[in-house]
Each structure stands twice: as structure tokens, then as C-alpha cells.
């Protein structure tokens, strides 16, 4: 059975892009692979955060994992900082990674632009991500398209480690969906939907109330043609809505385009909004039930224990291969 690992940062509001590009796929994969999913709270520290908010968001994401359908009997769910091996393996891989390759990371370049207070952790962020992955000997990593470069780095680091120290680490493959790997912003469909977008009109949060979802989709930027066609280049707004509808309803893009043939943009927006509301309502309701129940904390405690057992074993092998003397 293949092994998967992935993670989501507990920052901002989890949105439809995170859901369609990652979380919904995490749920699908739990039936066919051995899955490890973490809330990457250490990664969230790379940008200044209010500590109370970080704690709150970490539990929020973990609760959304469960509310979206992840089953702790099938998948191991944990908080990254609860498994100490991540920071340790992160250091070991920092001694394998090269400045040149980190300098090429486009996310670092984007996030550090115009800021003079960038912390070192933002720069070494992809190395910690590589540690997250290799510790579980993951064969594949389900992510959205924006993580592709980080995954290439993880694979390069694992390969270099093995070449230098002997075969210890599995080389991971990115698992990027054919559609939905880059859900675009509703207010600006040439840029990806993002947790850190300036305006709430950019995204649909998984916990948005139905009337908010309807309003945001109604206001989504489209074009002036009033002709429904799938063409991400020349009709990014309409194509984005078609992708959302298609993934939410389980239809192909072709079926979706056919379904909307001859209809106007108003009707498209109405039906997309209905489909999204119908899909997210049970998730939102489960979320609010679970948050009160104490179940999330139990799941995370058990998950950390299971994850640590595997991560510690890989970490010990990495250290031994690198020449570190084991504790006496």
C-alpha cells in the first residue's frame, strides 16, 4: 500500500482552494493509501502570528479535517509540532540543502518581497517541508499546484541524502489533481485563491454561512461575453466557476459545460452557489458539533503517538547514516 503525507498551514481561513486542491483529495485517498495528514503549525511561525490565534487556528484546521470526512481509523491526523522529529530532521536536511536551490523558491521570493523583516525560517521553510515528507517515507504527496516546486526540492534532497549517506529515504512524488489544483480568486481570477488575499471577496471560506457564499459567488469577476465555455486563458473567471462546479458535483468538465449550454452567467452563478452551499453545509455543521466535543484533542493525541513512532524510526536511521553517535 502506498503511503501519503500532506499538511495544511493553520493560517487565515481554510478556503475552497485548500479544499478542492487538497483536503477533499485527502479524504478520497484515505481508502486507498496509508495516509498521514498534519496541521503544519511550525510552518505557520515563519510569518509573525498572534499566539492565541495560532492555537485557535491549529484546532480549527484539525477539526475541519474531521468535519470534511477524514476518519482517524483510516488516516493518522496530527499536529506537526507534536512530533519532535520534524524539527530535528529539518536541521539534518538543512545540512544537505544548498543556498542556491532555496534562492530559487518562487514562494519565498513572493512572500519576502518588499519586506525587510523576513525571518530565516521563511527561507528554510521548504526544507522543513521536505523533512515532513521524508520522515514518513511517503511515496506521494497530495497538494495543489503551488507546492510543486517545494516537492521537487523534497525529492532532490531525499535523493542527495541517499547518494551521500546510503539509501535511507523514499523519493516522494507530487500528486497534483488534473483540475482543481489551482482554484482562482473570485475577485481576481488570474491569481490563485489565497488565505492571505487582501479581500474576503477573494475566497469562499469552508466555514462561510450560505448567504455569504451566495453573495461572494454572485460578485465573482467574469467577463462581458455571457457565453459559457471552458477556456482558462481567455475566460478565467467562468472557467474557475466551471471547475468548482465540476469538482463539487463529481461531473467532468465536459459534462459541466454541456449542462450549462445556452444558459447565462446569472444561472451559472446561481447553480454554482447552490452546489457549494449544499456541499459545505454538512461540513460546517459537523465542524461546530466537533469543536464542542473534545474528540479532536483525543484524535490528535493518538495521531501524534502513531506518527512519532514512524518518524522517530526514520530520524534514527538518518542520524546513524550521517555519522551521529546514538545516545548511550
Q: Per the annotation, where are the binding residues? A: 9-11, 17-18, 132, 144-146, 183, 192-196
Under the criterion CB under 6 A, does residue 17 sit at the interface with ligand TYM?
yes
State the nearest-atom distance from the C-beta of 219 to ligand TYM, in Å.
18
The answer to whether 145 and 181 have CB atoms below 8 angstroms apart is yes
Q: How far apart are CA 97 and CA 103, in angstroms?
A: 11
Task: List, in sequence order, every residue forming a beta bridge with 35; answer none if it has no partner.
Answer: 4, 75
Binding residues for L-tryptophan: 132
Residue 111 falls in the annotated catalytic set: yes
Cβ distance to ligand TYM smaller for residue 230 or 320: 230
Q: How far apart are CA 304 and CA 86, in angstroms?
A: 12
Stretch that binds ligand TYM, among 110-118, 127-135, 205-213, 216-224 (CB under 6 A): 127-135
Pick the catalytic residue: 111, 148, 306, 319?
A: 111
Under the criterion CB under 6 A, does residue 186 sit at the interface with ligand TYM?
no
Cβ distance to ligand TYM smaller for residue 9 or 124: 9
Which one of 34, 37, 43, 139 is in contact with ligand TYM (CB under 6 A)? 43
Q: How far apart are CA 37 and CA 18, in angstroms?
A: 14
Under the criterion CB under 6 A, does residue 183 sit at the interface with ligand TYM?
yes
The answer to whether 260 and 267 have CB atoms below 8 angstroms apart is yes
State the nearest-atom distance from the C-beta of 325 to ligand TYM, in Å.
29
Under the criterion CB under 6 A, does residue 133 sit at the interface with ligand TYM?
yes
Which one of 132, 139, 187, 271 is in contact with ligand TYM (CB under 6 A)? 132
- SS3 of 168, please? coil
Binding residues for ATP: 9-11, 17-18, 144-146, 183, 192-196
State the nearest-atom distance from the C-beta of 319 to ligand TYM, in Å.
21
Pick the catalytic residue: 24, 57, 192, 216?
A: 192
140-142 sheet: strands from edge to edge: 75-79, 34-39, 3-8, 140-142, 173-175
Under the criterion CB under 6 A, does residue 137 sit at the interface with ligand TYM?
no
Q: What is the DSSP string of 102-141?
A: HHT-HHHHHHHTT-S---HHHHHHHHHHHHHHHTTT-SEE
The set of cell numbers assigned to 78 is: 496530527
What are residue 260's phi and psi, to 5 degrees?
-95, 5
What track of x and - describes contact with ligand TYM for positions 163 through 182 (by CB under 6 A)?
Answer: ------------------xx
Residue 215 falls in the annotated catalytic set: no
The answer to whether 122 and 47 have CB atoms below 8 angstroms apart is yes
Pick the catalytic residue: 57, 195, 216, 235?
A: 195
- SS3 of 182, please? coil
Stretch that binds ligand TYM, among 18-26, 163-171, 251-259, 268-276 (CB under 6 A): 18-26
Cβ distance to ligand TYM smaller for residue 151 or 227: 151
Which one of 4, 40, 153, 243 is in contact with ligand TYM (CB under 6 A)? 40
Hunting for cell 458539533 — which residue is that?
Answer: 289
Q: How far apart are CA 251 and CA 257, in angstroms?
A: 10
3: part of which helix (H) or strand (E)?
A: strand 3-8
- Candidates 46, 152, 150, 134; CA nearest to 92 is 134
Cβ distance to ligand TYM smaller for residue 5 or 206: 5
Residue 192 falls in the annotated catalytic set: yes
Q: Which residues are catalytic?
A: 111, 192, 195
**Residue ranges that bind ligand TYM, judged by CB under 6 A:** 5-9, 17-18, 20-22, 40, 43, 129, 132-133, 141, 143-144, 146-147, 150, 181-183, 192-193
Amino acid at each position: 500500500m502506498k503511503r501519503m503525507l500532506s499538511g495544511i498551514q493553520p493560517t487565515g481561513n481554510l478556503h475552497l482552494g485548500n479544499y478542492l486542491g487538497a483536503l477533499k483529495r485527502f479524504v478520497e485517498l484515505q481508502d486507498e493509501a496509508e495516509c498521514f495528514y498534519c496541521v503544519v503549525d511550525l510552518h505557520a511561525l515563519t510569518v509573525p502570528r498572534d499566539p492565541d490565534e495560532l492555537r485557535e487556528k491549529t484546532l480549527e484546521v484539525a477539526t475541519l479535517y474531521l468535519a470534511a470526512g477524514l476518519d482517524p481509523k483510516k488516516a493518522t491526523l496530527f499536529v506537526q509540532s507534536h512530533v519532535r522529529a520534524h524539527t530535528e530532521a529539518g536541521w539534518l536536511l538543512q545540512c544537505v540543502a544548498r543556498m542556491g536551490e532555496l534562492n530559487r523558491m518562487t514562494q519565498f521570493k513572493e512572500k519576502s518581497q518588499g519586506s525587510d523583516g523576513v525571518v530565516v525560517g521563511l527561507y528554510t521553510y521548504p526544507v522543513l517541508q521536505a523533512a515532513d515528507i521524508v520522515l514518513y517515507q511517503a511515496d506521494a504527496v497530495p497538494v495543489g499546484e503551488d507546492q510543486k516546486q517545494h516537492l521537487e526540492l523534497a525529492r532532490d534532497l531525499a535523493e542527495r541524502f541517499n547518494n551521500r549517506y546510503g539509501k535511507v529515504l523514499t523519493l516522494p512524488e507530487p500528486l497534483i489533481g488534473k483540475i482543481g489544483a489551482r482554484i482562482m480568486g473570485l475577485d481576481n481570477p488570474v491569481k490563485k485563491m489565497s488565505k492571505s488575499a487582501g479581500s474576503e471577496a477573494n475566497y469562499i471560506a469552508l466555514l462561510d454561512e450560505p448567504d455569504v457564499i451566495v453573495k461572494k459567488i454572485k460578485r465573482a469577476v467574469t467577463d462581458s461575453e455571457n457565453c459559457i465555455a471552458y477556456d482558462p486563458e481567455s475566460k478565467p473567471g467562468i472557467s474557475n466557476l466551471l471547475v468548482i462546479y465540476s469538482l463539487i458535483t463529481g461531473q467532468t468538465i465536459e459534462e459541466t459545460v454541456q449542462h450549462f449550454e445556452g444558459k447565462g452567467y446569472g444561472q451559472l452563478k446561481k447553480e454554482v452557489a447552490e452546489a457549494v452551499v449544499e456541499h459545505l453545509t454538512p461540513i460546517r455543521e459537523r465542524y461546530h458539533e466537533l469543536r464542542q466535543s473534545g474528540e479532536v484533542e483525543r484524535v490528535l493525541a493518538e495521531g501524534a503517538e502513531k506518527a512519532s513512532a514512524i518518524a522517530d524510526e526514520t530520524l534514527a536511521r538518518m542520524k546513524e547514516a550521517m555519522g551521529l553517535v546514538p545516545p548511550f
